[in-house]
């Protein structure tokens, strides 16, 4: 069965305008009378120099508005006669839009985003103090945006300075996060549809990574495979910095360098999920790079898998948040005992947290618009009771550092985590990410056939992969259309078919014989050419040697001639000098 990619023409699930409006109404119902809520958007963030990170709206702001432009402010005033939902935003500017993209402007917010009124962001200092005046309480998340915090206090102080003139500054501030984050904890049907789609895309990405993994790859090459799957399926981004840790790197909980080579015998831990329409998926799988677990790897892996299964069984409405973690601790501690990594009595080891050097994190977290989503884990100092609509992860693990001298060498450098996304339902739970395999047998079955085939596979040419590991031929491939059009022959057509087969075989033999003779001719001609070339080269080198020898002889003769001439001249000069001396002597005698 082939798992086709979703067609680009198929609409991805989204949140309707009506749901955004319902959320704002629900928030205003929980606010005190004569109050105001103020929520600014996220700001554009500089990556380096004048280059910006890709803009991502603040999750709370998007949750209440669906509006994804920077430099915006949402103001909610329950019971206001002239409109309860107000916005401040950037004005339309054709010149800036040419550079930075389209803007909605105040008119667009009123027409498309349910605003009762909207104003230019440049007018906020003139308008917002008037909206604050006379309100008893301000709902605002203080401390998240220091610059905007200062502006809020400046507006309040302006009103306080006018108190003698009859102005009424707000008397109380309340944390807006407390209400909004509790709302976000309970997912609607529309939100769950998006999260299921994000989980399915992420699951297929993990399967893709397993199929293409091989020793000798770099971790970032494997990362590229699932990032490709995210983007090609319509996900806007990875929900967080992804982890691809091979070998001992899997023991680093937040390893994000992803720049080491994957060695034969390594386990590969991938923690990655996509973000789709502002909702995150979060999956971790651990698998052998060569497709086959070693004995020690499999023993630890099965302990982690059993602990996750025990945790999943605790997730049901009415259960509390920490039950799943407690279940993983019990199974992992017992497993470490059974393998001889820990020694002692189970209850005492759990009470002493003897498992902590090998399992040092919690078993999960809330999941939603943020990968570590908002929502309290305790209410009135008691673990939160699970309810339908909550979504959480379950991610136990065992990590034995490569330099851990307290355990036998065979266990060192093994890191394993298994993580799934789980929605609490009215009757139990639903694993959103169950499309990606995790049992030892399934991993072996998926990866071992691929190991024999993947040498000639270029991942960039694969459109989709079958469940049995075969790479599918694209629909417009002529080979596929030809084989599809050929049906089984009838009994009447069999003799003619046999004759045609014989003709084809004879023709093939003739062509093969011709090819062989032509190949032999080519080889003989090549040999002749090479011998001729070698002979010519020998001739040239011999001629060069002779010329050099002649030149050296000529040079030697010239040098000898010069030397003899110099000697003769010297002798003549000597004779002349001696004759002169004799003449001088004769004269002196006289």
**279 labelled catalytic:** no
Q: Quote the CA–CA distance of 147 and 588 in Å, as a whole number.
A: 122
Catalytic residue among 271, 373, 420, 421: 271
**442 labelled catalytic:** no
Q: Are 301 and 414 in contact (CB under 8 A)?
A: no
Plot region of 562 (φ>0 → left; ψ -120 to 50 → alpha; else → beta) = alpha
Q: Quote the CA–CA distance of 260 and 239 in Å, as a whole number.
A: 22
Q: Please state at what angle helix 124-132 crosses helix 146-161, rounded to 10 degrees.
A: 60
Catalytic residue among 282, 370, 373, 421: 282
**32 labelled catalytic:** no
Mention every residue, 6+ apart, whose C-beta is less than 8 A from residue 420.
283, 308, 312, 393, 394, 395, 431, 432, 433, 434
**60 labelled catalytic:** no
Closest CA to 138 of 165, 168, 176: 176
Q: Quote the CA–CA distance of 327 and 359 in Å, as a whole number.
A: 13
Catalytic residue among 226, 373, 399, 454: 399
**50 labelled catalytic:** yes
b (16+ CB within 10 A) / e for 206-244: bbbbbbbbbbebebebbbbbbbebbeebbbeebbbebbb
**372 labelled catalytic:** yes
**395 labelled catalytic:** yes
Q: Quote the CA–CA distance of 337 and 359 in Å, as a whole number.
A: 14
Handedness of CA 174, 176, 178, 182 (dihedral sign): positive
**123 labelled catalytic:** no
Query: What's the first-to-final CA gap in the chain, in angstroms?
Result: 138
Catalytic residue among 178, 372, 539, 583: 372
Q: Look at the chain and count its residues.
A: 590
Catalytic residue among 191, 229, 419, 420: 419
Catalytic residue among 50, 95, 126, 345: 50
Catalytic residue among 219, 275, 395, 420: 395
Catalytic residue among 47, 254, 295, 590: 254
Closest CA to 433 of 239, 250, 578, 249: 239
Catalytic residue among 135, 417, 429, 454: 417
Q: Are 138 and 170 in contact (CB under 8 A)?
A: yes
Which residues are part of the catalytic machinery? Answer: 50, 254, 271, 282, 361, 365, 372, 395, 399, 417, 419
């Amino acid at each position: 069965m082939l798992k086709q990619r979703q067609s680009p023409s198929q609409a991805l699930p989204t949140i309707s305008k009506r749901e955004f409006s319902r959320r704002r109404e629900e928030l205003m119902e929980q606010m005190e009378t004569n109050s105001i809520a103020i929520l600014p958007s996220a700001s554009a963030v500089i990556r380096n120099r004048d280059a910006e990170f890709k803009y991502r709206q603040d999750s709370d702001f998007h949750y209440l508005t669906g509006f994804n432009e920077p430099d915006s402010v949402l103001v909610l005033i329950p019971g206001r006669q002239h409109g309860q939902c107000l916005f401040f935003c950037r004005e339309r500017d054709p010149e800036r839009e040419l550079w930075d993209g389209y803007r909605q402007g105040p008119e667009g917010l009123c027409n498309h985003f349910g605003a009762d009124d909207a104003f230019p962001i440049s007018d906020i200092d003139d308008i917002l103090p008037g909206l604050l005046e006379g309100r008893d309480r301000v709902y605002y998340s203080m401390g998240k945006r220091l610059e905007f915090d200062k502006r809020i206090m400046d507006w309040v102080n302006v009103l306080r300075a006018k108190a003698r003139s009859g102005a009424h500054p707000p008397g109380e501030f309340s944390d807006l996060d407390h209400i909004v984050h509790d709302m976000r904890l309970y997912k609607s049907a529309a939100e769950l549809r998006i999260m299921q789609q994000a989980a399915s895309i992420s699951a297929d990405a993990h399967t893709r990574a397993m199929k293409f993994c091989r020793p000798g790859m770099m971790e970032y090459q494997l990362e590229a495979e699932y990032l490709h799957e995210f983007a090609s399926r319509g996900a806007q981004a990875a929900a967080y910095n992804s982890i691809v840790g091979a070998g001992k790197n899997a023991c680093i909980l937040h390893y994000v360098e992803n720049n080491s080579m994957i060695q034969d015998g390594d386990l590969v831990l991938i923690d990655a999920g996509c973000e789709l329409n502002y909702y995150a998926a979060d999956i971790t799988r651990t698998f052998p790079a060569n497709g086959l677990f070693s004995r020690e790897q499999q023993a630890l892996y099965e302990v982690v898998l059993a602990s996750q299964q025990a945790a999943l069984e605790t997730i049901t409405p009415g259960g509390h948040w920490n039950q799943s973690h407690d279940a993983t601790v019990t199974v992992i501690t017992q497993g470490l005992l059974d393998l001889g990594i820990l020694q002692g009595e189970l209850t005492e080891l759990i009470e002493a947290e003897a498992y902590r050097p090998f399992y040092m994190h919690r078993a999960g977290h809330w999941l939603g618009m943020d990968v570590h989503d908002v929502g309290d884990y305790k209410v009135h100092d008691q673990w939160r009771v699970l309810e339908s609509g909550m979504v959480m992860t379950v991610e136990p693990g065992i990590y034995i550092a490569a330099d851990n001298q307290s355990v036998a060498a065979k266990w060192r450098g093994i890191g394993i985590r298994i993580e799934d996304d789980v929605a609490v339902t009215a009757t139990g739970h639903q694993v959103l990410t169950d499309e990606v395999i995790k049992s030892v047998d399934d991993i072996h079955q998926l990866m071992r056939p691929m190991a024999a085939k993947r040498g000639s596979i270029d991942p960039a040419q694969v459109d989709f992969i079958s469940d049995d590991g075969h790479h599918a031929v694209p629909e417009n491939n002529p080979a596929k259309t030809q084989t599809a059009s050929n049906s089984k022959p009838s009994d009447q057509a069999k003799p003619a078919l046999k004759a045609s087969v014989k003709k084809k075989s004879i023709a093939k033999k003739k062509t093969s014989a011709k090819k062989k003779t032509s190949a032999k001719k080519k080889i003989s001609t090549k040999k002749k050419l090479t011998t001729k070339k070698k002979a010519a080269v020998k001739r040239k080198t011999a001629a060069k040697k002779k010329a050099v020898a002649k030149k050296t002889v000529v040079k030697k003769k010239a040098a000898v001639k010069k030397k003899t001439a110099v000697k003769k001249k010297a002798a003549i000069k000597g004779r002349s000098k001696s004759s002169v001396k004799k003449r001088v002597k004769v004269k002196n005698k006289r």
